[in-house]
Chain A
């Protein structure tokens, strides 16, 4: 089966090099569509059969008539592919599914099915020892998926080739068949319908996310990643994402509200405290990343020690929150502890920022990196031996008591409207409040005179100062605000994790909120955006947390992923609004390069003058 692909392809290359947009596999379009449809239907049917004979493989794939575990993912993928195929037939009522490309989503969907099914078959054979452990159902789905992919490769590409790429090779044509044109402008719906669509979008998003967090074993999570990855790309190519983002841009407040409602619903979908804790930790990580985005994304200050501010907030809150091991022994109410933490971080931020922000570029990065490490080492040394006893050194401050807010004890499970809300669920909701505050601070400051001044400094500091912006003061403001926001998150983190220790606040480590991962979340997600760092943080936390068997390779994989992303999507997963303005591009070729050099020697001149 697998050997067939290259041979068909080579014949295709020779035969069809002249036609403008040849499919990868030469088939009449109607036949290709029918084959794809039949293949995905076969894959779908296969999920109702048994895939293996023993329930030793997690998820129990032995039942006939009832798909479980990884079979469900194949089922969903196949159903999605089938829908796109039907939409390609022009079936009434399905046209809205594919306002952009039609055939590339089909191909992507089919690839997703093949990926998930193939992965499952491989995992079964490997874990149970050989292909003999596969029951016919697995073969049915697998062959169906393969047929669907081959059929989809025979569909004509959505986009005609550009003038300069008339004879692409095989790889070029495969890549081309995965691209799709942008959808045109949607006709306006009544606003209630648009709002409903937004709500549905977030509902689906919440469901997918909650499913991903709730995956019980790593095979299922990998299958989830494959299905979700291909499914998401397929939906993007189909133009649905563009449509949705046009709507969210139109109804920004509704979108924000929908996002928060979806986020509030999350802990109620997780009966398992362990998964709710992942949610809470993702929120902490994401909130801190958003705070860092003020510093890096808006003001353009590369801060490599940002996690120290989280640590300052956490330590300050831990010291005054009534831990028996606290050297201060105070027990402030929560709001006072929060203020203490935020204020401590703010002061720390100003103290570090005031001398360092006079430096430019690389120097700032190195100095902040140093300060981040100094913080950790200092916390280690304030243990009574090598320094005054403040932080218990490497033991940290444990046993931070659970919060009780308005008589609501966050430490015990509660029953809300018939749904169990676990301890981590409680803290998740508390943290969500802080996330909301940080989102609001980010949005409001970005869309103001101050935010514009930050972006101006990021773009060209010399020009910004020549426009009357006090560069140092505004950079210090961004730095201090960022520090304060991280401190805010730290105060909750101290309570969520019961204890604070120096090792939580490293430059790079295996557990996410550390400076390197925070920066990665911002860059990977999209600098200067709100949703970017949130999504980036969620991915960066979830993937290592779910795939613990790869812990040793985590940093390696992380580095590889970052490199690939920077190569293929340098603006990050979510592009900045400013970068979305690209449809205004004039195609002008004589626009000068945007970075002039000569006047940049100001700093030197000043020093020498």
Chain B
């Protein structure tokens, strides 16, 4: 099913039978997903399909009601910090930077799991402290260089323009030296130019040997980028496969545009939709 060319692929992420229920609402229903090393996998689906919820289950922010998530063969405990420690890093759909910290400090926080200087080391300035601190700074600057933010290292994160905030979130995630990067709508709110740049960045990340799982609504972006795409609709994975195949799949089109009535001509339906849009002031059913 996968289109990866490398002969020695290993499974990085293996989520099996992940289910997340909020009271009566099943936001994610027995989803299986595998990500192999060297892959960029896309996760698409209409609004409210449960994509972000699925990410939260993978990263331990939510404890899945059922199912398990394993990373490189070991089952992950549902604790976000342990997941990051294991090697999965993520960004957030609604940017969650440390707004009042500088750009550099944001990335340094990302290094938390890869450094171990504790309180005593800091208080007594033990010999290793300065070295570790400098190494961290160096690595963080490299990452800022990589994402093109080096010139703004001393700015407060909240003062960055939107596109750069997204980049900084990626740099911060990369600082934890992940084997798998989860990106939740990395190009939301970007102009086409910035989107192209983000594509380049994600390819460069993949080339560093980091597998990427990306949620995105921009179908062109997904087509360019992904080796494989999974489609989530109402919490269920309905299709998975190469981007072109998925794009042509009837069920996917139905999920995005709505199921055509039996035998009803398309034009009639379009007119209906327009009329409904013109009348309604509240948000309609997105089916």
Q: Which residues of A contact B172 (CB under 8 A)?
A: 467
Chain-A contact segment, one of B34-42, B90-98, B211-219, B259-267: B90-98
Say yes or no: A599-B112 contact (C-beta < 8 A), given A452-B101, A592-B162.
no
Which of B65, B102, B109, B158 is close to A456, meaning CB atoms less than 8 Å apart?
B109
Chain A residues with CB below 8 A from B109, complex form: 452-453, 456, 464, 467, 469
CB contact list, A569-601 vs B, under 8 A:
576, 578-579, 581-582, 584-586, 588, 590-592, 594, 596-599
The answer to whether A459 and B99 have CB atoms under 8 Å apart is yes
Interface residues on B, range: 35 or more
Q: Are the CB atoms of B65 and A453 closer together than 8 Å?
A: no
Question: At the interface, yes or no: A199 with Cβ under 8 Å from chain B?
Answer: no
Partner of B119, one of A481, A591, A592: A481
| Complex Cα gap A466–B92 (Å) | 10
Cβ contact within 8 Å between A467 and B156 = no
The interface-forming segment of A425-433, A441-449, A554-562 is A441-449
Which residues does chain B contribute within 8 Å of A409, judged by CB atoms? none
A582 / chain B contacts, CB cutoff of 8 Å: 156
Q: Cβ of A451 < 8 Å from any Cβ of B? A: yes
Q: Are A444 and B99 in contact (CB under 8 A)?
A: no
- A606 to B63 alpha-carbon distance, docked (Å): 6
Total interface residues on A, CB under 8 Å, equals 49
Given A452-B105, A596-B96: A477 touches B119 (CB 8 Å cut-off): yes
Closest CB-CB distance, B5 to chain A, in whole Å? 32
A453 touches B97 (CB 8 A): no
Task: List chain B residues, Cβ under 8 A from A460.
Answer: 96-99
Q: Contacts A449-B122, A594-B99 given: A470-B81 contact, CB under 8 Å?
A: yes
Q: Is A455 an interface residue (CB 8 A)?
A: yes
The distance from the CB of B74 to the nearest CB of chain A, in whole angstroms, is 16
The reply on B84 being an interface residue by CB < 8 A is: yes
Q: Assuming the A-B contacts A456-B101, A581-B154, A594-B99, are A467 and B110 also in contact, with contact meaning beta carbons closer than 8 angstroms in the complex?
A: yes
A564 proximal to B (CB < 8 A): no
B22 touches A588 (CB 8 A): no
Report Cα–Cα, A599/B57, bound state, in Å.
12
Cα A608 to Cα B112 with chains together (Å): 29
- Report chain B residues within 8 Å CB of A440: 123
A448 cross-chain contacts in B, Cβ below 8 A: 117, 119, 121-122, 129, 133
Knowing A588-B161, A605-B62, A609-B65 are in contact, say whether A578-B101 is a contact too (CB < 8 A): yes
Most buried by A among B84, B98, B121, B159: B98
Q: Which residues on B are within 8 Å of A, measured CB to CB?
A: 20, 22-23, 52, 56, 59, 61-65, 80-81, 84-85, 89-90, 92-102, 105, 108-113, 115, 117-119, 121-123, 125, 129, 132-133, 136, 154-156, 158-162, 165, 172-173, 176
Chain A residues at the B interface, C-beta cutoff of 8 Å = 440-441, 444-445, 447-453, 455-456, 459-460, 462-471, 477, 481, 576, 578-579, 581-582, 584-586, 588, 590-592, 594, 596-599, 602, 605-606, 608-609
Sampled A-B contacts (30; CB under 8 Å):
A444-B122, A448-B119, A448-B129, A449-B133, A450-B122, A451-B122, A452-B101, A452-B108, A452-B109, A453-B112, A455-B101, A456-B109, A459-B100, A464-B109, A465-B80, A467-B110, A467-B172, A468-B80, A468-B176, A470-B81, A578-B156, A581-B102, A581-B154, A586-B160, A586-B161, A588-B159, A592-B94, A592-B95, A594-B99, A606-B62
